Amino acid sequence: MQHKSRRQFLTHSAALAAAPLLAGVAGSAIAQAPERKLGVALCGLGSLATNQIAPALLKTRNCRLAGIVTGTPSKAEEWKKKYGIPAKSVYDYQTMNRMADNKDIDIVYVITPNALHLEHTLAAAAAGKHVFCEKPMEISVERCQQMIDAVKKAGRMLSVGYRCQFEPNNLECVRLAKEKVLGDVKIIDANFGFAMGDPTQWRLKRDLAGGGSLMDVGIYCLQTARMLTGEDPIWINASEAKTDAVKFREVDETVMWQSKFPSGVVANSVSTYSANGLAGFRAATTRGWFGLEPAYFYNGNRGRRSDNTEINIPVADQFALELEDFADCIINKKASRVPGEMGLSDVKYLMAIYESIKKGRPVSLA
């Protein structure tokens, strides 16, 4: 699947697409715009940056697209024209340290392949910038820790792009779980996958991706279980399945795992690069159930509860929501809901899943 078709997949549910819903943007915004919008430089102008993040930054009330970091000169020209970015705010990966002199840029948003997040975060921190980093944060716990340390040393903030933590339908489910509206959550079933096309892309290269479907989309299922329980897993058992050993020579194709949480909740998950149609979760409770299908798309996430109530809260742009929140945290010196430490702990649990696969037995995390 080319990036384009991955995007089409994630933006599926056209009838629910954002445009008509702009008026009722859930969770958006605080009444007044601040005096100066924080400047965001996008580092890596690939699919997500081009199709989601740059458009989202046109909708945010407290931050704006102010700069770019790209290794492709033709993209630099295109973006300068399209978004009115001045030449002084255009960098490549080697010159991004010069941002230290650029007062228009407050935040660097790292949107490069997973294993480059460390290098680009270190450069941004050295230039004295706040860092917003895409998921997964990096490909090892040690590398995540280096990112946390560098940003801390620079006296700046680091957050991870967990958009579901700001998506109102996902948050409504967290409320149902917390307030025990349908009783206690007991079992969670969360799955995410897509049929991977282009066999040459970085997502299939271990050095750049760190892993396959688990690192890329399984992380959403892990986040769901952590969000709904408010807990961290204490036990994980996992295995993998491969139907194409050539294409998925370097990374996992399909991973199945179970986790237990301190309260006794059990979560079952599958991540895959071999099939479309898995992008939701269901929580079984003592009195019924609730869930979203889809839960993880860019638009149109919706669901139901066992008491026949629909979950369908309109949201114009979840990326705008997460960026506004990060800018708010910086402006108001508030802790982020999605700090680097959360990104690191998720990578720790992903590594435990791989360890369980490798050892062929459960891994205890208690």
Catalytically annotated residues: 135, 220
With binding defined as CB under 6 A, does residue 124 bind ligand NAD? Answer: no
Q: Which of residues 99-118 bind ligand NAD (CB under 6 A)?
A: 111-114, 116
With binding defined as CB under 6 A, does residue 3 bind ligand NAD? Answer: yes
Contacts by residues 29-33 (CB-CB < 8 Å, ≥ 24 positions apart): 29/61, 29/324, 30/61, 30/62, 30/328, 33/61, 33/62
With binding defined as CB under 6 A, does residue 161 bind ligand NAD? Answer: yes
With binding defined as CB under 6 A, does residue 183 bind ligand NAD? Answer: no
Task: Provide the minimum distance between the beta carbon of 265 and ligand NAD in the complex, in angstroms, as a whole number.
Answer: 25
Task: Provide the minimum distance between the beta carbon of 239 and ligand NAD in the complex, in angstroms, as a whole number.
Answer: 23
Q: Which of 135, 156, 247, 302 binds ligand NAD (CB under 6 A)?
A: 135
Task: Provide the minimum distance between the beta carbon of 155 and ligand NAD in the complex, in angstroms, as a whole number.
Answer: 25
> Which range touches ligand NAD (CB under 6 A), out of 16-24, 25-33, 47-55, 333-341?
47-55
With binding defined as CB under 6 A, does residue 134 bind ligand NAD? Answer: yes
Task: Provide the minimum distance between the beta carbon of 342 and ligand NAD in the complex, in angstroms, as a whole number.
Answer: 14
Count of residues in contact with ligand NAD, rule CB under 6 A: 20
With binding defined as CB under 6 A, does residue 303 bind ligand NAD? Answer: no
With binding defined as CB under 6 A, does residue 247 bind ligand NAD? Answer: no
Q: Which of 1, 38, 48, 338 binds ligand NAD (CB under 6 A)?
A: 48
Task: Provide the minimum distance between the beta carbon of 115 and ligand NAD in the complex, in angstroms, as a whole number.
Answer: 9
Q: Which is nearer to ligand NAD, 201 or 312 (CB)?
A: 201
With binding defined as CB under 6 A, does residue 213 bind ligand NAD? Answer: no
With binding defined as CB under 6 A, does residue 47 bind ligand NAD? Answer: yes
Q: Which residues bind ligand NAD (CB under 6 A)?
A: 3, 44-49, 71, 111-114, 116, 134-135, 161, 163, 202, 208, 216
